[in-house]
């Protein structure tokens, strides 16, 4: 089975990861940090809002079972892409809305979906989601992985 990766920042990674884990065709998820300057950042480092990293979910999926377009749909539906450097009560650059693409095809699909959603009138404000090349993924500490599942929680506020 050939899989692909997709990486998204959509606020606190716990709820975002839980949403992606429900998608048929998603074979694995991991929460971590991407898009900053520090090597091997910790949660404490990222929470200072000084490293430039976003809290992200790395999604591994089988493109024969779920398309990248459908993965993007889950991303858009599970957060507010009009909030700059925040989601709900969480604020700071680490909570920004971001798509980190892994291929030219992912970049094109991400840009097209953002443009279509912006033109749809779904949101009163402009979408501020950044679309940038994926950089090194720094896996978060083990206690953050599948955080909600470990605590018997189905979801948390992500939108």
Residue-wise pLDDT tens digits, 10-52: 988 878 898 999 999 999 999 999 999 999 999 999 999 999 9
12 catalytic per annotation: yes
User: Active-site residue among 12, 31, 54, 110?
Assistant: 12
HSE at residue 133, side-chain half, CA atoms within 13 A, is 4
Residue-wise pLDDT tens digits, 64-114: 999 999 999 999 999 999 999 999 888 999 999 999 999 999 999 999 999
- pLDDT the model gives residue 159: 47
Delineate the domains of the chain, giving CATH numbers in brackets: 4-150 (3.30.1060.10)
CA distance 141 to 144: 6
| pTM of the predicted protein model | 0.91
């Amino acid at each position: 089975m050939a899989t692909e990766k997709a990486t998204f920042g959509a606020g606190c990674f716990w709820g975002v990861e839980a949403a992606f884990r429900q998608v048929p065709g998603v074979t694995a998820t991991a929460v971590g940090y991407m898009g900053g300057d520090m090597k091997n950042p910790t949660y404490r480092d990222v929470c200072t809002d000084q490293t430039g990293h976003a809290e992200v979910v790395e999604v591994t999926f089988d493109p024969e079972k779920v398309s990248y377009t459908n993965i993007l749909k889950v991303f858009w539906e599970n957060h507010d892409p009009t909030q700059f450097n925040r989601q709900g009560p969480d604020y700071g650059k680490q909570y920004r809305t971001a798509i980190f693409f892994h291929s030219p095809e992912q970049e094109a699909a991400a840009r097209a979906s953002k443009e279509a959603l912006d033109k749809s009138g779904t949101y009163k404000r402009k979408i501020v989601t950044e679309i940038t090349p994926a950089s090194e993924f720094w896996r978060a500490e083990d206690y953050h992985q599948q955080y909600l599942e470990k605590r018997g929680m189905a979801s948390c506020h992500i939108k």
